[in-house]
Amino acid sequence: EKKKEDIERKERENELVAVTSSKPEELDNQLKSGDIPEEFKRQMFYTLGDYRDILYSGDKENGNKYMFVDDIKDISDKIKSILNNENDAKTTPKDWWNKHGKDIWEGILCALTYKEYGDKKIEQIQDANGGDLFEKLKNGNDYDKVSFGGTEGPINTNAGKDAHKGTKLKDFVNRPTYFRWLEEWGEEFCRKQKHKLYIIEKDCRGKTGVEKNCSGDGLRCDEKVPENEEIFKPLNCHSCANSCRSYKKWIKKKRTEFDEQKGAYEKQKKDAEGNNNDNAFSTTLDTCTDAGDFLNRLKNGPCKTNKEKGEGDIDFNNQSKTFKHTEYCDPCSEFNINCQNGYCSGGGTQNKCPKGKITKQDIEKMNKNTDINMFVSDNSKSGFENGLEACGSANIFEGFRKDEWKCGTVCGVDICTLEKKNNNAEGKEHIIVKELIKRWLEYFFEDYNKINKKLNSCIKNGNGEVQKCFKGCKKNCECVEKWVKEKKKEWEKIKEHYIDQYKKQNDDGNTLTNFLEQFEQRTEFKNAIKP
């Protein structure tokens, strides 16, 4: 995955991309010298901890209660049969691990000395001088001595600034799984967020950060607004729109994951404080009252902010900031228009436009004579009213929000404004109708796929004919009926006020089919149109 991220970076920088990236080559060379890179070692520590968790998964006293035992049931059952072999005395997981943990670690070390190629051919790697790399790696990396110098180390109450360094492997694997997993989640979040924001910056602002300016919907803010008759021509910033949409889904998912972890933290903390297997680590939890405090320990490592590169501070105690959508994906702050002698024409009127732009102030002065409302599914556990009451007791949507757009015209450009009163944000956002239609279609495809997924089990396909919903699915079907009714009303209003009007001005024959071409590679679109 890191290799893929490195290639994505180079692609955005318009560099020549080789099959392998420079970062993996650099790490390979470091490994051949007998020095295990820290990011390798980190993953090795976590891997060994995972193996130990599987061993303890059936232990009622010391087993990991946070682990999804059903996912590893076959492995767990096999381990039980070995530990309880009738021919041998019963072996406890602790005794077995004390005896074999070292061997498993050496197996992981050994795996570093082999490389799998594309043809599945596996070859042993030698060190830089052609010697035995395995023996070289074992030197200084013994199970009882090897340590990881990352931020995951124990932090005693009165510890100094370097107390996070030097976590020994034998202590690390004894930590409660929940906290190891939470740390791993945190460092992966920070690494991926930095990478995703880097890609968005390149996609939406260009290689230098100033060569172009795109909205998160894909409109070029530094070019003149498309004419009304170009309503169905695809927007010009495809990569920016795709990256922004992907990030929005990702950051929403991460916020949900964080909330789940936050809810489990207090109980896991109490359990860990009652376990003295790793007394130093248990003591550190006294300084971390919640999941936010615990994850903020990573701010000197994987979550460190590089302010010289303009990176924002990651603070897990400020969730609204850390899990918000990026400003790179904001709508255009102003719109470029055609002006002649300081005036623009449109909508049967003539207006002053001394700077050739429609500003926020211009938009706020315009007459907003058209309301475009759309219901958007979310995880709010609310919003089941105004015709969608049937969905409250169904099993398709978690909730809805109602986006209320106020639309008007400035210099012939139809612009819609969303007041973010119910979106946990400040201020307003302004977009042109072309962007509004794109958003409506995106929301429609997403919700349509949710419906399809839920109704698959509710619909019989016998003899090639789709039958009515069978018992147990009545509520879902009633919800879908109401949802379709609302979507028809929304689309008819958009069509009446804008699409039909624009088509009268359309001379080059671009259609909704042309507009949909920009969605054709998206998973939600493919799922919506498949048989």
Which tens digits make up the pLDDT trace of 439-486?
A: 999 999 999 999 988 887 776 544 444 455 555 588 888 999 999 999
Q: In sequence order, what are the residues at sequence separation of 6 or more whose Cβ sits closer than 8 angstroms to the Cβ of residue 155? A: 163, 164, 284, 287, 297
Structure tokens that stand for 83 in this block: 């530990």
Rounded CA separation 193/258 (Å): 14
For residue 345, pLDDT beyond 90: no
Across 287-314, average pLDDT: 80
The 3 state secondary structure assigned to 95-122 is HHHHHHHHHHHHHHHHHCCEEECCCCCE
Confidence of residue 161 (pLDDT cuts 50, 70, 90): very low
- Give the Å distances, CA to CA, from 248 to 333, 423, 491: 20, 14, 24
Distance of CA 69 to the CA centre of its chain: 26
Residue extent(s) of CATH 1.20.58.1930 domains in the chain: 359-529
Query: CATH top-level class for 359-529?
Result: mainly alpha
Confidence of residue 218 (pLDDT cuts 50, 70, 90): very high
Return d(Cα 320, Cα 317) in angstroms, integer. Answer: 9
**pLDDT > 90 fraction of the chain, expressed in percent and rounded:** 33
User: Looking at per-residue confidence, does 269 or 12 come out higher?
Assistant: 269
Of the listed ranges 342-356, 404-418, 465-479, 486-500, the least confidently predicted one is: 342-356
Contact 309, 201 (CB under 8 A): no
* Residues 180, 224 contacting (CB under 8 angstroms): no
Pairwise CA distance, residues 121 & 53, whole Å: 31
> Exposed, middle or buried: residue 414 (CB in 10 Å: 0-12, 13-18, 19+)?
buried
> What is the spatial distance between Cα 440 and Cα 375, in angstroms, rounded to a whole number?
9
d(CA 482, CA 479): 5
Task: Return the CA Rg of the chain.
Answer: 29
Q: How far apart are CA 361 and CA 358, in angstroms?
A: 8
End-to-end alpha carbon distance in the chain: 33
The answer to whether 236 touches 219, Cβ cutoff 8 Å, is yes
pLDDT at 201 exceeding the cut of 90: yes
The two structure tokens encoding residue 523: 């998973």
Q: Please give the mean pLDDT across all residues of the chain.
A: 78
Tokens of 440: 């409506």
Convert the pLDDT of each residue in 498-517 to its tens digit: 888 776 655 555 556 655 56
Is 70 exceeded by the pLDDT of residue 409? yes
Residue 47: strand, helix, or coil: helix
Mean pLDDT to the nearest integer, 30-34? 79
